[in-house]
Amino acid sequence: MTCSCLDRRDLGLLLLRAGTGGVLAAHGAQKLFGWFGGGGIEGTGAFMESVGYAPGKLNAMVAGVAEAGGGVLLALGLATPAAGAAAAGAMAGATAVHAPNGFFSQGGGYEYPAFLGLTAAALAVTGPGRYSADHALGHALNRAWMVPAALAGTAIGVLVTLGARKRTVDEGEAA
Q: What is the mean pLDDT of residues 68-89?
A: 98
pLDDT tens, position by position, 111-120 = 999 999 999 9
Confidence check: pLDDT of 56 > 80? yes
State residue 173's pLDDT score.
Answer: 87
Confidence check: pLDDT of 135 > 70? yes
State residue 121's pLDDT score.
Answer: 98
31 closest CA partner among 11, 48, 15: 48
Gap between the Cα atoms of 26 and 71, Å rounded: 8
CA atoms within 13 A on the CB side of 51: 18
Q: Model-level pTM?
A: 0.93
Confidence check: pLDDT of 43 > 80? yes
Phi, psi (deg, nearest 5) at residue 97: -65, -40
Confidence check: pLDDT of 172 > 90? no
Gap between the Cα atoms of 135 and 143, Å rounded: 11
State residue 174's pLDDT score.
Answer: 86
Gap between the Cα atoms of 33 and 16, Å rounded: 25
Q: At a CB cut-off of 8 Å and minimum separation 6, what does 57 contact?
A: 41, 42, 45, 48
21 closest CA partner among 29, 33, 9: 29
> What is the pLDDT of the chain when averaged over all its residues?
96
Q: 164: pLDDT confidence band, cut at 50, 70 and 90?
A: very high
State residue 35's pLDDT score.
Answer: 98
CA of 171: how far to CAs of 52, 58, 103, 124, 175, in Å?
Answer: 10, 20, 26, 36, 6
